[in-house]
Amino acid sequence: MESVINSTILSLAGFPKSNPSIHHQKTVKARRTVYCSLSSSKNSNNGGDANGLLKEEEEEKYNDTWLLFKEAQQNILYLNKLRLVAVEELNKANREKQLLLDKIQQLGAVNKLGNEQSLWRELLLRIDSMVLTGLIDSAEASGMRKAVMGNKFSVALVFFDIRQKTDAELLAQLRQFSDGSRKNGFHIIQICTEMEPLVSVGSLSSYVTGLSKALQKKGHMVEVILPKYACLDLTEMQGLREIEAELYSYFNGQLHGNRIWTGIVHGIAVTLIQPLYYSSFFDRERVYGYSDDFERFTYFSRASLDYIAKSGKQPDVLHIHNWETAIVGPLFWDIFVKQGLGGTRVLLTCHGFDSQCLEQPDKLALCGLDPARLHRPDRLQDHTMTHLVNILKGGLVYSNKVVMVQSIYSKERIINSFGHGLEPTLAIHKDKLLVSPCGFDNSTWDPSKDKFLPKNYSADDLKGKSICKVALQQQLGLSKNSSTVLVGCICTESLDFDLNNQKAVWNATQKSVQVCTSFWDLYFFEENTGLSAEYWRNSLLVGEMRFIFMGSKATSADGALEYLKKELKDETVRFINKYDEALLHLIFAGSDIILCQSFHDPLLQVPLKALKYGAAPVAVTSNENKFRHFVDHEQETSRFSRFISSTFGYLSLSQAVDEIKNSPSKWKQKIVDAMAKDFSWNAECYDVHVSAYTALKSL
């Protein structure tokens, strides 16, 4: 390693490779020349002239020596600097190499487990294909599914060559295998419009994938049905294949053909529906935002139910989401419940009530519903625009259970303050409403095994967090002061800050930090904040602060960052113009505080990740009352809400900094307690949904 570094330094410095023996010979020769010259002068001049000449040459020699010494000193400093750069580059290369090796090892383990899990799910999809092609009927298919579900672990041994077998060969093998018994677990089919990583627009995509993985981890069977968008990212889909038989579904008075595709994503069986006649419905650049969205998603909802019925599936729960698939509720109870689905129930998840879809009642006939039957106050008729039908309201009325995804507010608060005109319907159906927080992926976001961190740590051993903090400071060129409070902020494009309020916050915090002879080092942005350059100029004038801006995967942040870079010509400002996932993980690990726009963050899940990484989430909003007093205390709130309200919910930024400085032991205990909590998809979110599924089975 030493030779590599030295070679690198010499190369960087532009020095030629030297031969030590030649250098020594030249030095000796130079000394002899000087000596002979001095002796010759001394013999010829014999006196003062010789002494003067000798003195002059000694003085010149002294000056030359001093000059050489200074040059050598500068060269040593320069070489040392290059040496440090080379060491850092080498260490970085080694870290990247180790990260890559660990990733390969991890993927190998995941693939081995994933292959076993995906095998039996692929087997279930092949059974669906046999029903659609007429090889078996729905009753026989139901028995085969039970056999596969009851013997998951032996499936891998028996059906290891499933992809090499024809449907006829596989059918013969399945009939011999049909002795198993079904395991205690729910069969859930999610009919939705997003799923990570196939198609992600909002928080729905991570919710569908996170919850599905958590359910399957606990022994439940989950399937997902999606439209086959043109914009799907299929790179992580395994075993993608088209079922050879067409599926016909009803729309606008006729039966229309659909191509059916199946595959596995993160161990979850996924079915994609591709319309043939209405091929333009999903062959578009965007997922939402078109004038015919009602027609597009109504077609998909009806086709999904036709597929479930014709493939002989008998799920325990149809799990639908938002208004886009809310029409499944009326369709199920008015048309499909008698098509072999008598034991199935419907659960609707709402990620908010602000998007409801109001349409002319006659349009309900497109998917086979009776407009006159449904355009009534107790069914789909809108409360305000009474001449229209409200599709989300229909989902609320016709679902057996409704889960409202909200991390902070109670059921009563949601019904009374966030119903967006649906308050009467929510009040009537209050007993079937549940509140669930969102979660996060703790297989990716876990400091105890995060491969992006220089040192892992946990609630039991926090030493690694200090190392991560120093690494973050070093990587961003910040002062490595152990008493420095690092404050991170991961924001969305619509961040809502009141500038005057924030100036007061900065002043108050800076004062407390100055008293503690410390300062802020980090202010991190993942996306466009929308804040003016004038605001940042004013912030920079308040004491000694460091700002770091980082662009995200969204290109919309780039223009704002470039604008701020031109406006804020200050050496304390850092700009990172590209998204860096490794740095993002390090910011969570190295920060003491993470500023959040809200504790309810289903899209980025910033507060949940902050807690897991030992950084205190502190809410910053434009309204002072919201800033300090927005966490509900009512009993029907989430465990996450109650925890936040008792720990970080009432802290302002300046109060948090004061507590870090003045009560370090108390603060450390808070952080340890927070890290020990589990707010992932596997915890409270899972519990709420299984509780809902269990209640549905007793109806």
Sign of CA dihedral 208, 211, 217, 219: negative
- Residue 222 above 70 pLDDT? yes
pLDDT at 34 over 50: no
291-300, 336-345, 514-523, 566-575: which range is least confident on average? 514-523
pLDDT one-digit tens code per residue, 75-92: 888 887 787 777 777 877
**Region of poorest pLDDT, from 277-281, 325-329, 539-543:** 539-543
Q: What is the pTM of this model?
A: 0.73
Nearest to residue 536, comparing CAs of 508, 561, 514? 561
**Sheet of 487-489, strands arranged across:** 487-489, 593-596, 616-619
Least confident of 50-54, 244-248, 416-420, 476-480: 50-54
Residues 347/399, Cβ–Cβ less than 8 Å: yes
For residue 246, the surrounding DSSP H or E stretch is: strand 238-251
Q: What angle do CA 546, 547, 552 make, to 5 degrees?
A: 150
Contact 620, 487 (CB under 8 A): no
pLDDT of 459 over the 50 cut: yes
Confidence of residue 576 (pLDDT cuts 50, 70, 90): low
pLDDT band at 562 (very low <50, low <70, confident <90, very high): low
CA distance 300 to 293: 11
Residue 550 bridge partners (DSSP): 576
The answer to which of 140-144, 360-364, 533-537, 666-670 has the lowest mean pLDDT is 533-537
Contact, 282 vs 230, CB < 8 A?
yes
pLDDT at 627: 36
Q: Is residue 254 left, alpha or beta, with left meaning phi > 0 and alpha meaning psi from -120 to 50?
A: beta
Q: Which residues contact 587 (CB under 8 A, 6 or more apart)?
A: 472, 488, 490, 522, 524
The DSSP letter of residue 684 is I
Residues 530-555 as b or e (16 or more Cβ within 10 Å = b): ebeeeebeebbebeebbbbbbbbeee
Q: Which of 201, 200, 158 is nearest to 177 (CA)?
A: 158
Instruction: Encode pLDDT of 94-113 as tens digits.
Output: 777 777 776 666 555 445 44
Mean pLDDT of the chain, nearest integer? 79
Percent of the chain with pLDDT over 90: 48
What dihedral angle (degrees, nearest 10) is formed by the CA atoms of 170, 173, 175, 177?
Answer: -130
pLDDT band of 347, cuts 50, 70, 90: very high
Instruction: Give the start-end residues of each E strand in 442-558.
Output: 487-489, 524-525, 547-550
Most confident residue range from 67-76, 168-177, 267-276, 473-482: 267-276
Residue 204 has pLDDT above 50, yes or no: yes
Q: Is the pLDDT of residue 73 over 90?
A: no
